[in-house]
Structure 1
Amino acid sequence: MLRSNCPIKLMNFIFFFAAVLFAGIVSAQDASKTTVATDGKVRNIDGVAAVVNTGYITRKDIDDRIAVLKKQGTKLPEGEALRKVILERLILEKIQLQNAEQEGFYVSSKELDKIIADTAAKNKLTFVELKAKIEASSTSFEKYKQQLREEVIVSRYREREVDAKIKISDAEIDNFISERNRAMLSGVTRPSPSANGGPEEIDVAQIFIPVDSGAGAGAQADAKKKADLLLREAKGDVDFLQLGAMAAKDNPQIKFQELGYRPPDRLPQLFYEAVRNTGSGQVAGAVVKSPAGYHVLKVLDRRSMAAGSPPPAQAAPQEPASTTPQNIAITQTNARHILLRNRPGLSDQDAERRLQGYRDQVRAKTADFGDLAKKYSEDGSASNGGNLGWMGPGDLVPEFELAMNKLQIGEVSNPVKTEFGWHLIQVIERREAQLTVEKQREFARAAIRSRKFEQAYQDWMRELRDTATVKILNVEDAATGNSR
């Protein structure tokens, strides 16, 4: 959840948590599995909006999806355009599921039960409590299981197919490592020269459109579309701060944040790469995709590092850095946290107040941090006392990492807000470590893959759509929702 550059191992099934709170990410699809033999027979099935290979989508499917999105509070376009967008999304989902099943992707009942049991445990619920929450959201448990089964099948198929399209050469990895090594300067800083040649601080603002990594293709596409729209607006004659505030007001899930002046090593690697050649007052050229969602970035200002700021660590004069990858010395921190997630019904004030109470108990030595994390943290690390393990520079989102780096060993932070919620942090220990060449190559491959994934995914989706047999019927009715 907190890692800024690495795959997020704690979010495998968090998409269900959102489904419980918002009554389902994916709406019920009750279309019959009957094979459609001819156009004449299709047209005799009342309410069919589109035929997709050997299956079909009904107007009721469109209505159900719109109802779910409205229940989530999603801001939607009006009228005919909305129904056409939803229909196209359902077509793409249907194609993916059909292809996955034809390729033999399957989730057994035993495996599905384990996924549901793990989901209940991660959300600190019993199986019975989980089932009750699902049924309280107006979704039958059997329908939920079918939706979950299809989501897992499609996700696995999509991962395999898109991964096969991403080609990463050894030269790309070597170049990535060489650039990162020069930037990190032995893990101490990643200084960027200012106009006078000295180290620089960058003031970056972001508009963040969150999307769960487990969300379906439709949710991913919606978030990307919104981010692209905001990017186009940001490049126009508009105040970025006002644009961010308005976007957050229209959709509370969207977060606007000014990060403040930071040296490059205090920016997430993805952010730094996006803005490293962006001048003051300019918007990053493209939307940044992270495991947490989509980011629209603007460089508000660049300046030489202030005289009172700690200077970068000085290294002894040395020969120009070799382009051959070498081990890098870094400082790692072992920390634990208590997370209260962003969710309806929990205000920022309530979350902050709760965490302050836990902090005071730990400081007064009337409670153990790990015990409180096990009891109250809403994160996959809760069962381990909130322990996040050893983290290096750039592994965590900047707000969390900055707060953590200011703490002494054993010290507990004040409540810290990130896009994921509110955190209480305690540093357990620190150590000096070597980032081995093998680990660097793993990191480089993951970072390059993340950078290439979005384009590969979009290309794959276009190929699926182009090779499928799709016939849209009664387009006017599909767009208006009128019955025939």
Structure 2
Amino acid sequence: MMRRCNLTALAARSATLSVVLALAGLVASAQAQNPAAAQQTSPEAAPPPAAAPAAAPQPKMLSESVAAVVNDDIISTYDLAQRVRLLAATSGVQPTQETLPQFEREALISLIDEHLQMQELKRVEKEQKFKIIATDQDVEAELDSMAKQNNTTKEQMLAALAKAGVSAEAMKQQVKAQISWRDWIRGRYGSRLRIGEDQIKAVQTMLQADASKPQYEVSEVFIDASRVGGVNQAMQGAQQLVTQMQQGAPFAAVARQFSASPTAAAGGDAGWISPGEMPPEVDAALEQLRPGQLSAPIPVKDGVYIIYLRDKRSGAGQTLVSLKQAAIALPQSATQADIEAATAKLEALRPQIKGCDSLESVAAKAPGVVAGDLGEAEISDLAPQFKDAAEHLQVGQVSQPIRTNVGLHLVALCGRRAANGQTLNHDEIENRLYGQQLSMISRRYMRDLRSSATIETR
């Protein structure tokens, strides 16, 4: 017997038994290949570069049944199993017993959205009598482009998916729906959008006001709570994705498959942002992250963010210094005699150091002295003892021995410069506002299609 249900209820429903059975081999294989999959790793680990899709066993033969009906269009259990495998292969996230429900939920939501999009495009084509839906040639060209971005060929990419149990047709159906809907939104609304000079100037004014603040280069994944069945579901899904990325899933691949942000198509790349451009909860998290760190899930009003901080730069008005050091290790418990001996050794070494270029070579000749490049940092971020030296030294000068909890140091000032607060230019701001508005239109369009849809499960 068939019954009607809303999209949220459908998204939260577990997949049918046949789908779970079809995926059991995939989960077992993933766990066997990655026995550490259930263990947490440091959130500071940077996501690695995109990797080839992981191999998975071929789907088992199973009797096909109906998983959902969208306005009389059928989504079969085979379609659902194929989409789950496609998500796993293209995101780099290895399914486990804990993440499998999330994969099933995301796969079913994606399939429903694509059916709604294709139904709407067919309706418009029939009414307006012009071609909207992408042709087979368009799909092949998009696949070629995707493969090129991943330094492979279309044939190799499809072969890798086949090893993961994903048919070429399943991949092509997803690509066809994506590019058809993207081009339709751009074609219908893009020419009507007008980004006014007042809007651009408002953004420029905001960026200038924020020029003295730090700027962050970030990648993002945004889980839309309304799309996945609520905030709790979004948090649970985000935590599972964070765990998988800590264990090696590429951030960009995860963003492309799971993020509801407009940046998903670019692998989550949001570029350089300033405080105030994202929700306050994200700004607070960014202040605590260092370049190369992955955030924990960040709940916001309408969903959950995962942020990867790629880089950070100081705002205008800050002073950046480059430092090198020659040091002798001395624990905090060192005797006064040890401290005096180390001080005498560094004092004798200091006159021989003729600037930063000679520091390492001079230090290498002194037993027990270790030299190193401390890199570039804001003066305000330095330890108090080093900050004082950096403020008073001239470029090329070497400090007196500095005592810290871990040793005795000579610090050389290699460079000093004012930080440049960089902002987006006119065209970059216009393109960003244009993309944001198109994304908002698309999301509203989809909300309307979902609210008027008849979606049934058996």
TM-score range, shorter chain: 0.3 to 0.5
Give the TM-score of the pair, scaled to structure 2: 0.41
| TM-score normalized with structure 1 length | 0.39
Structure with greater helix share of residues: 2
Larger Rg: 2
